[in-house]
A and B are shown apart, each in its own frame.
Chain A
Amino acid sequence: MADAEMPGAATPETNQARTRQASLAALRAEVARLEQGAAARTAGVIPLCEPIDRMIPGHGLARAAVHEVLMADPGAAFGFCGLILARAAGLVAWIGADPDVWPQGLAAFGLSPAEMVIVGAKRSRDGLWAFEEVLRSRAVSAAVLVLDGPAPDLVAARRLQLAAEAGGGIGLLLLPDTDLVRPSAARTRWRIGAAPARRSGDPCWHLTLLRGSGGLPGQWTVRWDRESRSLEPVGVDPVGKQAAPSHPAASSGMMW
């Protein structure tokens, strides 16, 4: 901004622009506050890795919210979910029609199999019911629902979001990969695919942030470093770099 560079020479026009900007920011903060439940305000976020966190409002995946994950590759998506479940730190639930998750494998990300409750829900409406019950409970810090079919409709998604706001846990909705962009009440939508690791043995993933309220889309390639137990960005994606604003919340709203 021009006014930031010459603070001494404030003209009436710049002053006016500044007050307008300030009141806009205050309004946005007010709207964001109204949109979130009581639990959501204090819930905090789950950090992923630095360059990605910069792109998401709150600097991480918001707790007390539902996030959609499209499975471009099941292995990578399961690993990504395992990482978030482990970082949520607490009792976690995995819900699916025929849950074939292997907790021993997820233990590599620091998730204890003893803290994982698995729910078998053959019908998707049972799965959604269980997901909502789990999200609404304060006992569970994270939950995953694996759906074979399409994403739940807006009403169901909104219910899930409200349940997550009441309970304070993070909800991950694992969906089959599709190019059909549908409206959703989820806070963010990701597409997780596998990236070549080339013998290193460390999992490498393509993370694509397709949409997120209050943020910008981006694409990253990350590697799970088993020594430091952290996600490391691999290379620099032009999309992600160009779309890094200094204050992501200021450019909110365009993702809907």
Chain B
Amino acid sequence: MSGRRFLVLHLPRLTTDRIRQREPELRQAPIATWVSVGSRRQLAAVDAPGTGLHAEQALADAQAMHPGLVLRPAAPAADLAFLDRLALWALRFTPLAASDPPDSLVLGIAGASGLFGGEAALLARISGSLARGGVTAHAVIAGVADAAAVLARSGQHGRIVEPGGEAAAIACLPLATLRLPADCRAGLHRLGLQRIGDALRQPRAPLRRRFGQTLLDALDAVTGDRPRSLPPVRPPPEFIAVQDFLEPIITRPAIDHALDHLLEPLCSALVAAGQGARQVTLRAFRVDGDVQEITIGTGLPSRTPAHLRRLFADRLGELEPDLGFERITLQADVANAWSAAQPGMAAVIHYPRGHPQETAELLDRLLQRLPIWRLAACSSHWPERSVARASPFGPIAPHGPESRLAMPVLAMPVLAIPVRLLTRPVPLTVVAAAPNGPPLRLRLGGRLCQVAWADGPERIEPEWWRETPAQLGRDYYRVELETGVRLWVGRSRETWPGRPARWFLHGHLA
């Protein structure tokens, strides 16, 4: 074990420190977070000195005792992210930093402490930086990570254990500082084992029989016989390319040239990481301090310089160089794993036929400027709702998810479906033989047209689970005029018998 040194940071108020950092106005206020346990709401993390509140207290009690208590719902995921961010921050002191959830950081400082003037100086510097940032931390240095962790959890801030002294340092610590399950802790307490040293002196076989492997794992880790392995955090790859210019650039050819220069390293970085960019931002820093941004998105991960250049080409005109740009950066904001698609395999993009790569690139170019979509059938018999816009990239069933329901949209023969459905139906003046009869004549575009034949009505009732009760049912007719023009004409059924029916033109038939 010689030569390994660990600095463990225990962050007892991680949750509340995170909240205080995000909401600086709460710096002095008592804070607590709460969770729901069954039907009961109780406090989870409390930072309210002098109030006597504690974790696992009923929320109602706490509010009654201290109306001024600031309460937030617990967010374990946010806590974890905060811990990871702190681990990334700690990379400035050592290349080996790991987060040990829920509330500890482990830094391997064997080679790093000399750079900061010794272990004591490094410890003071780290805990000082954290304290300035508003994060409470107990820092301990030892040769065994878990030994340092129990010391930190028992609150011995600033302690530096000399190499070989770990066993003596932890022997008198209570067993509660080990992270053990509650029943295991209670069992040890029943046996009269209070301290870590007590447990270490017991024969291992009976301990294992009684408490299982968990206890032995924890004990072996704390003595350093079988240390736990923690994966060190790795900074997320940053796909960014930067170019500075001695002379500010103004002209479009110069900007194009700079873009070419930036795309090359960015794309090779993406290739090296096995990633493809989904969103790329170009930032141009003007001489006068102004920063202009252009963002493009792609439907499928891309790392082809030519494709990205074409997507940018349309947008570069938006830049206003004025006195010139002195720096241009290109960053892939969103990157996804590159799916190594074989050219010609249609699995990547969901079209039955065609060239997937070229299709994706074409759709990307169109999407930079215009909305594009496909229509997917839905299970609704109301004409406007029988299709919905779907992403051009996603999968789409040829005739919708419930083709039985959706395909014969209105239970009509296929040819009776209009080929054009007006977004805004046109009101019509119609002469009908009977109040509920088919139209005889209709006025279309200022001309009175004789109806040659009409087929219908197709009665459609409103979908009561969606509509307001005021929605009226409709009768649809397929109508052919004397001229041969075929129309899809609807009439909304009035609730009152006496009122005239309202007719409208809703579509054109082929």
Contacts and interface: CB of A to CB of B under 8 A. Distances in A.
A1 B214 CA distance: 105
Contacts, number: 175
A102 B417 contact: yes
A224 B377 CA distance: 25
Interface residues of B, number: 56
A107 interface: yes
A139 B453 contact: no
A96 to B, nearest CB: 10
B417 A105 contact: yes
B485 interface: yes
A interface, by DSSP: helix, strand, loop or mixed? mixed
A103 B452 contact: no
A114 B416 contact: no
Nearest to B350: A114
Contact of A121 (B370, B407, B483): B370
A204 interface: yes
A130 B370 contact: yes
Contact of B421 (A100, A112, A114): A100
Given A73-B485, A91-B354, A194-B483, A118 B373 contact: yes
A90 interface: yes
Interface in B442-470: 452-453, 455
Interface in B224-275: none
A130 B507 CA distance: 26
Given A121-B370, A137-B358, A139-B354, A105 B509 contact: yes
B482 A196 contact: yes
A133 B366 contact: yes
B338 to A, nearest CB: 20
Contacts of B362: 133-134, 137, 139-140
A214 B387 CA distance: 42
Contact of B371 (A91, A120, A139): A120
B371 to A, nearest CB: 5
A202 B369 contact: no
Contacts of A120: 370-373
B418 A105 contact: yes
B77 interface: no
Nearest to B356: A139
Interface residues of A, number: 55
Contact of B387 (A76, A78, A104, A199): A104
Contact of A114 (B351, B358, B373): B351
B387 A108 contact: no
A108 B413 CA distance: 9
Contact of B419 (A101, A121, A126): A101
A237 B193 CA distance: 108
Interface string A179-214: 000000000000001111111011110100000000
B349 to A, nearest CB: 10
Contacts of A114: 350-352, 374, 376, 396-398
A82 B453 contact: no
A116 interface: yes
B339 interface: no
14 contacts: A75-B510, A76-B485, A76-B510, A89-B353, A91-B353, A91-B359, A101-B420, A102-B507, A104-B417, A105-B419, A114-B351, A118-B373, A121-B370, A198-B453
- 4 A-B pairs with the lowest CB-CB distances in the bound complex, closest first: A79-B510, A75-B508, A105-B419, A139-B358
